[in-house]
Structure 1
Amino acid sequence: MDEMTLRMKTLTEVDGVPGHEGAVHNKMQQYLTPLSEELLKDRLGSLVGKKTGQEQGPKVLLAGHLDEIGFMVTQITPKGFLRFIQLGGWWPHNVLSQRVTVKTRKGDLLGIIGSKAPHVLEPAEREKVMKLKDMYIDIGAKDEADAKAMGVRPGDWIVPVSEFTTMREGELWVGKALDNRAGCALAVEVLKRLQDEEHPNIVYAGATVQEEVGCRGAGPVAKLVEPDIAFALDVGIAYDTPGSESQHMTCNVGDGPLVLLFDATMIPHTGLRDLVMDTAEEMGINVQVDALAGGGTDADKFHTNGIGCPSLVVGFATRYIHSHNSIMAKADFDQAATLLTAVIKKLNWDKVNELIGR
C-alpha cells in the first residue's frame, strides 16, 4: 500500500464525530508536525501546520475537517436498547441494520441499528422511509441496568463501523469518513509537496472541527490564521451512478478534482476560481464543477472572516457520502494535490492584490 493510500486508511479508520474529534486531531498532529515549523491550535480542537515560503507573504489556508457524521445516545430504554440523535445529515435508508461503535467511558461497544423483520411489517410500513427517531441500537444488553453497567450513558457518541479498503487494484478508495478525512489528507499532502519547493507565501494546512453540524469550527480557525486566501478541502457529489441521469451536473469519480461554483453558503471568489481553473488547464488537469442549492462547507466562514477572504472549495467527486461506505478515486486526490501545489506557488502579493482588485 503506497504512502497516500496508507495515510487515507489510517485517517478514515480513526473515529471522530462532531464534538469528539480528539483522536483524529492527534493523528493529524503526527502528520503535520514534521512538515511544519509551528502548529497552531484553537480551543475547540482544530489545528493547522505553518510553513513559511516567504516572510510577510500572503497567508494561504488549506483546511479539511476532522469530524465525520455519526450519532449520540439520548436514552437507554427499560429493556436496554439505545435511542439516538444524528450528528450530521443521514438518510434513514442508509442506517438500518448497520453496525456502529458506541464510545463509552468503559470502552467501545458493538451496536446494531435495529429494525423490524420484513415478515411483520404492515403493507403501509413497507412503502415508508423509517424515521431515525423510531430506530434504536441493540448492544446486547439485558436491560437498562445492564446497559449502564456496560458503561453507556446519554451523551455517549456513536460512529459507523467500516474498514477502509480499495477497489480496481487500488484505483478507488472505499471507506467511512472519506467526508472529510480526504480533505485532511489533502492538506497534509500539499504541505508535504511544498517541503522542497520555493513559494512566496505562508501556508497554513490542517483541519477544523464540527463542520458537519454547521461549520462551527471554521470561524475560530479563520480568526486564528487571518488568511488572505482560503481553500476548503472537501468531498463533492458524484453523479455517475444509476438514478442520477436527471441531474444537470456530470461529476464522475476519476474524472479529475472538483471545484464548487455555488452552494447555499458561498459564491466563490471569481478571480481565485479562474486562477485555479486556468492553472489546471495549463497543467492538463481536467477540473469538474458542481453547483448545489443546499449544503455548505467551511468556506462559508472563511470567506466572511475579517474584511473578507477570497475562498474556494476544492475536492473530489465521491459516491455515497454520508453513509457507512463512500467511494472516491485516488487519481482525483493526486491531481488535486498537484493543482493546489502549483496554485500556491503563484500566490504572491502581486497576484493576491490582482485578485482582489487592488
Structure 2
Amino acid sequence: MTKLDSTLTMLKDLTDAKGIPGNEKEPREVMKKYISPYADEVTTDHLGSLIAKKTGEANGPRIMVAGHLDEVGFMITRIDDQGFLYFQTVGGWWNQVMLAQRVTIMTSKGDVTGVIGSKPPHILTPEQRKKPVEIKDMFIDIGAKDKEEAESFGVKPGDSVVPYFDFTVMNNEKLLLAKAWDNRIGCAIAIDVLKGLENESHPNEVYGVGTVQEEIGLRGAKTSANAVKPDIGFGVDVGIAGDMPGVSDKDAAAKMGEGPQIVLYDASMISHKGVRDFVVDTAEANNIPFQYETMPGGGTDSGAIHLTANGVPALSITVPTRYIHSHAAMLHRDDYENVVKLIIEVIKKLDRETVEKLTFN
C-alpha cells in the first residue's frame, strides 16, 4: 500500500467523510480542521456552509473560492415489515451504477452497513432482463430479520445513506480513486489556496468556502455568497473527463493529467468573459496547463454566486474526473495541484483596480 503523504491524508479524510445534502457536518468538520491554520477566522452561515477568511489587504476586493461539501447519496423513506429499507435519491444518480453496491446508513445509534438490492435476474422475464432496474424497485438490505430489528439498529425514515468506498492510490500513483470527489476535491482546493497564500502578499480578502446542498440546487452557494459579498467568485468542482472508451471529443474533450478545465458555459451560467480571459492569460504566463470545458447538462456553485446582489463576475475551474455521481470516481493529482497553483497566481494579481477593470470587460 502506498504511504500517504500529508496531502493524500487530507484527501482521504475529506473523501471518507460522510455528508449528503442537508447533513454535511462530517466533511465540514474535516475541512475546518485543515483550513483553520491558514485562516484569520472561520464561520458558518445558517445553512451550514463553512467560510474561512484570509486577509491580505484589509478592505481589498473579496475573492471567493468555493467547493461544495455535499456528495450524492440517498435518504431512507420507509422500512417494510421484513426489515428492508426503501429510499429516495439525494442528488443525481444513474440507476445502472447502483445495484449491489455497499452503503452506510447514518443512524442515531451509529453507522449501519447495507447493500442495494433488487429482484435477482433469475426470476425476471426475458423482457424484464433487457431493461435497467428502476430506482423505485430497489431497496437496501441491512440483514435485519424484520422491521422491529431494523429499528433496533437505530434506522428510521430521514436517515442519510452514503456510498461506501475506501480511498485508493492507483498503481499509477498520480491517479486517485475515491467516493465523493464531487466535490471534496473543491474543498481541498479551497484549503490549499489559503495554505499557499500563507507567506504570500495578496491585495485582497480571500474566502475559502465549503458550501452545502450544491447537488440539489446550489443552495449553500446562495447563502454563503450573500454572507461573503464577493467581488469575484470561483467555483471549483469536478468536470467530465472524456479519455475513456466510447467517448468522443465532441462528447467530452478533456483528458485527465492535461490540466484544469476552464468552464466557458454550463447550464447554470455563462462564464464572465473578463475573468475567463484573465485566468487564461495567467495560466499561459505561468506555464500552467489548462483545457476548455462546456457542460450544457450540469452546473456548479458559480451559477449561484454570479447572481448574488447586483451580480458577481464568476468562473468555474474544474478537475477532469471519471465516473462522477457513482460509488467511486477517479482523478489526476496533477490537475488538482495545477488548479491550486492557477488560483493562487490569479489572486495575487486581483487588486482593486484590476477587479474594477474585469467587472466591465
TM above 0.5, one fold?
A: yes
Q: Secondary structure at the match of 2:319?
A: strand
For residues 180-200 of structure 1, give each alpha carbon's deviation from its aligned partner in whole angstroms, at most 9, with x where no partner exists.
Answer: 000000000010000000110
Does structure 2 retain, via aligned residues, the 8 Å contact 1:59–1:226? yes
CA–CA separation in structure 2 for the residues paired with 1:206 and 1:226: 12
Quote the residue 1:32 is aligned against. Answer: 35
Which residue among 230, 239, 242 is the counterpart of 1:236?
239
Q: Secondary structure at the match of 2:222?
A: helix
Would you say 1:97 and 2:100 are equivalent positions? yes
CA–CA separation in structure 1 for the residues paired with 2:36 and 2:252: 39
Q: Secondary structure at the match of 1:217?
A: helix
Which residue among 159, 162, 187 is the counterpart of 1:159?
162
Which residue among 227, 231, 246 is the counterpart of 1:224?
227
Does structure 2 retain, via aligned residues, the 8 Å contact 1:28–1:206? no
Task: Give, in angstroms, the shift of residue 84 of structure 1.
Answer: 0.2
1:230-309 alignment, distance < 5 Å: 230-245=233-248, 247-309=250-312
CA–CA separation in structure 1 for the residues paired with 2:213 and 2:170: 30
CA–CA separation in structure 1 for the residues paired with 2:147 and 2:251: 50
Task: Give, in angstroms, the shift of residue 205 of structure 1.
Answer: 0.5
Quote the residue 1:189 is aligned against. Answer: 192
Which AA in structure 2 matches 1:357? F
Would you say 1:136 and 2:139 are equivalent positions? yes
CA–CA separation in structure 1 for the residues paired with 2:129 and 2:257: 36
Task: Give, in angstroms, the shift of residue 56 of structure 1.
Answer: 1.4
1:38-53 alignment, distance < 5 Å: 38-53=41-56
Which AA in structure 2 matches 1:295? G
Would you say 1:333 and 2:336 are equivalent positions? yes
Which AA in structure 2 matches 1:344? I
Which residue among 167, 171, 182 is the counterpart of 1:168?
171
Task: Give, in angstroms, the shift of residue 117 of structure 1.
Answer: 2.4
Would you say 1:310 and 2:288 are equivalent positions? no
Quote the residue 1:201 is aligned against. Answer: 204
Superposed CA RMSD in Å reads 1.1
Does structure 2 retain, via aligned residues, the 8 Å contact 1:32–1:206? no
CA–CA separation in structure 1 for the residues paired with 2:353 and 2:68: 30
Q: For structure 1, list consecutive stretches of 5 or more residues without a partner in the other structure.
A: none
Q: TM-score, normalised by structure 1?
A: 0.98
Would you say 1:149 and 2:182 are equivalent positions? no
* Identical-residue share of aligned pairs (%): 47
For residues 279-329 of structure 1, give each alpha carbon's deviation from its aligned partner in whole angstroms, at most 9, with x where no partner exists.
Answer: 111111221111122221111110010111000101200000000010000
Moved more, 144-153 or 323-332: 144-153
Does structure 2 retain, via aligned residues, the 8 Å contact 1:47–1:206? yes
Does structure 2 retain, via aligned residues, the 8 Å contact 1:80–1:146? yes
Q: Secondary structure at the match of 1:192?
A: helix
Q: Secondary structure at the match of 2:227?
A: helix
Task: Give, in angstroms, the shift of residue 346 of structure 1.
Answer: 0.7
CA–CA separation in structure 2 for the residues paired with 1:183 and 1:279: 20
Q: Secondary structure at the match of 2:190?
A: helix
CA–CA separation in structure 1 for the residues paired with 2:276 and 2:5: 31
CA–CA separation in structure 1 for the residues paired with 2:212 and 2:304: 13
Q: Secondary structure at the match of 1:183?
A: helix
Task: Give, in angstroms, the shift of residue 78 of structure 1.
Answer: 1.2
CA–CA separation in structure 2 for the residues paired with 1:46 and 1:9: 21
Which residue among 60, 84, 108 is the counterpart of 2:63?
60
